[in-house]
Structures are given as structure tokens and as C-alpha cells.
Structure 1
Amino acid sequence: MDNVSTGRDQVADLARLLGALGGPDVRRIAAGHYVTCRAHGSAVAESGFEVLNGGHRPQGADRLLLRRASRQAEHGTRHFWIASNDGDYAQLAQLGTLAVLTIDKTRVSARLRTAAIVVISLRRTEAEWRVQYASGTRFGVLAGEHLP
């Protein structure tokens, strides 16, 4: 939740879009700093996310997500989506297929961009959040038929 900055009034709508990606069997996990979790955790949880509180430490939420991804990989998960620009998440590509979701493609770290099979933009129209990705990407590998 810390790595995808949007206006407070848009958090629930963005969480609904992200919660719709991949279909009903996808495990959805969000993490944030203590203050972020208090402010937005319930809105994100309503869209089917397990919300992890990263506490007050710097990078606490990032560490939680990376540990959880490692555990998921041990249990057979091979496709990972991360809504972030942070290059630390590039290591997820070692666990399987990595797709990056971002609000601003220009802010995605070079390391993360290189590790991902696709970088997908999230765009806000007047009415809603939308997914925007380049044709010809391998996004179908991750999304199947469940692209909103």
C-alpha cells in the first residue's frame, strides 16, 4: 500500500480493480507502514486482500511481502504481481513470473523493469481505474480470461 500512492478517496476503487485481476483463486496480499494500514487497511481488505501491517520500521512492509512471497513459492505459487516501483521486488522474478503494476511507468526502477515480463500501467479516468498495457505482452499468462 505504501508503494502505490493515490488520493485517499481513490484507495477503495483502486483496490477493487487490483482485486479483480487474476480471477477468484488468486491470493491477494497488501502491506503497508503502520499509519498506512490504519488509514487504508479496511478499504483494501474489503476487496479481498489480506492486509499485513509492516509496523513502524523502514521497509517493514516490503520485508513482509517478500517473506510471504517466498512462502507462497514454497507452496507452488509461480506467478507474482507487485504494485510497486521499488527495485527490491526484482528478486521475486527468481521465484517465478513477475508482473509489475504501476501508476507511473517512468518511476519503475530499471532493476524491476528488467526482471518483470511486463509493466502494466494503472490509469484513472473520471469514473474509474483502468488497466493499460501494451499489446503483444505476455500478460495473458498471468491474467487468463480475467482482465477487467
Structure 2
Amino acid sequence: MRGLKKQRRIQIILVAFVALGISTALIGYAMRDGINFFRSPSQIVAEPPAPTEVFRIGGLVEEGSLQRGQGETIRFSVTDGGAAVPVTYTGVLPDLFAENQGMVGTGRLIDGVFVAHEILAKHDESYMPREVVDALKEQGVYRHAEGDAPGGT
């Protein structure tokens, strides 16, 4: 009787570990497309990612680079002060999107051009995404605006 209880406990523990392993693998598999790494323009120029890799780019919209094409296609360059990457986006831009303003885009680098499928702009005068602030600080370009919280938050 005692040996049967011990054997049953061992079986339950083994089944729990197998279930834990399978659930961890399923969660990792489901999240593989949802993880987008952030890169600054300088990092992209130094080490271009594969055309199949989806990632986020952030920086300032370069002054004088904003071009509206036919339809909803927009072209501009994003910079961190050290390098600039050309961007194309088809869709409606956020209301606060403008030259010399912070932005973050999600997409792929194809033939040296970042093809964005999502563009985010800063939402008020005191916010810029932390990754963008860090990249701009690395290049020595970031300046605090009045009332701006240090660190971008």
C-alpha cells in the first residue's frame, strides 16, 4: 500500500513537470512573433538585420525628409544624430507626427529602406519612448525640453 502511494506521487510529479514543459514551449512558440527588438538608426547602419526580421526603429524624423507620395505612401528618414535610415509607410500617420519629433516604427529593413507597418509618435510635449531617449543620448543629440522628465518617462 505504501509503495503504491509513493509510486502514484512520483507519477503525478512527472506529469506536472511534463505539463509545465509543454506549456512553457507553447507560450514561447506563441510569443515568437510578438517580440520586436528595438534598434537605433546607428545600429541598423552598422549591422543591418535580415529582411525577414521584424523590429522597431526609433529616433527623430529628420528635418526636410518628409515626402508625401501618391495615395497614402509617406517617405521620410529617421535619425539618432549619428545615422539616418530611410522609411516608407503606407497608411495614416498619427496626428502628432512631424519633422524633428520623436517616433517609433515597427517593420522590416528591405534593401536598405525600413518598410513600416506601424508608426507611433510622441503623444504630448513631455514624452518620448525610453529607447529613443537612450539612443539619442548615446549620440549626444538629446536635449531635455522644459518640464521633461529625465529618462523620457
- Structure with the larger helix share: 1
Structure 1 or 2, whichever has the larger Rg, is 2
Q: Shorter-chain TM-score: which interval?
A: under 0.3
Greater RCO, 1 or 2 (C-alpha within 8 Å, sep 6+): 1
- TM-score, with length taken from structure 1: 0.27
- Structure with the larger strand share: 2
